[in-house]
Structure 1
């Protein structure tokens, strides 16, 4: 099963994990978050992320999801990417995470594609204006 690591600005990662547990009505296994604080040392973040990846990788790889490309959590992810073993995507959303969790028994490449599709399909305009006609 593909492991999932959320690398986000605090407290987003833990909030996303809690939301996923709410949707699935149980704790989600093999998902961890590193919530990076404003003054946190990036060397510490890199160490924590490598340790988390080692815990999460059961041989099927790890998907690292970060919140915003160019932010500190994302920049710390740059050194983690290892094609086929550790894939990194930015722009976390709940639809993205739920898709990644749902498909993580598939290959890492499929999990990446499904997570990206979840993000793209999950962003829609909600229009409640009354239409006449």
Structure 2
């Protein structure tokens, strides 16, 4: 099963984990978050991320999802391991995360594609205009 690591600005990762636990009625296995706080030592963040990837990888690989490309959390993801074993996606959303969790029994590249599709398809405009009934 593909492990999932959320690398985000605090407190987003923990909040996404709690939302996923709510939807799935329990915390999914092999699922962790690292909430990076302001001015946190980059070497410490890198160490925490490497350790988390090692814990989460059962041989199926790890999907790392971060919030904003170019931020400290995403910058710390770039050297977490072999790209065939560690995939990274930026721009987390709840639909993306739920898709990743749902398909994590598949191969890592499939989980990546399903997560990206969930993020893209989950962002839609809702019509909130009030419609007046015609009498």
TM bracket (short chain): over 0.9
State the alpha-carbon separation in 2 of the partners of residues 82 and 6 from structure 1. Answer: 18
Q: Does 1:26 align with 2:26?
A: yes
Q: Do the aligned partners of 1:7 and 1:65 also contact (CA within 8 Å) in 2?
A: yes
Look up the match of 1:75. Answer: 75
Look up the match of 1:91. Answer: 91
Unaligned runs of 5+ in 2: none
SS across alignment from 2:82: coil
State the alpha-carbon separation in 2 of the partners of residues 35 and 113 from structure 1. Answer: 24
Taking structure 2 as the reference length, the TM-score comes to 0.95
Taking structure 1 as the reference length, the TM-score comes to 0.96
Look up the match of 1:2. Answer: 2
Structure 1 runs (4+) greater than 3 angstroms displaced: 130-133
State the alpha-carbon separation in 2 of the partners of residues 39 and 112 from structure 1. Answer: 30
Look up the match of 1:101. Answer: 101
State the alpha-carbon separation in 2 of the partners of residues 40 and 126 from structure 1. Answer: 38
Q: Do the aligned partners of 1:9 and 1:37 also contact (CA within 8 Å) in 2?
A: yes
Question: What is the Cα-based RMSD across aligned positions, in Å?
Answer: 1.2
The structure with the largest alpha-carbon Rg is 2
SS across alignment from 1:83: coil
State the alpha-carbon separation in 1 of the partners of residues 131 and 124 from structure 2. Answer: 18
Structure richer in helix, relative to its length: 1
Unaligned runs of 5+ in 1: none
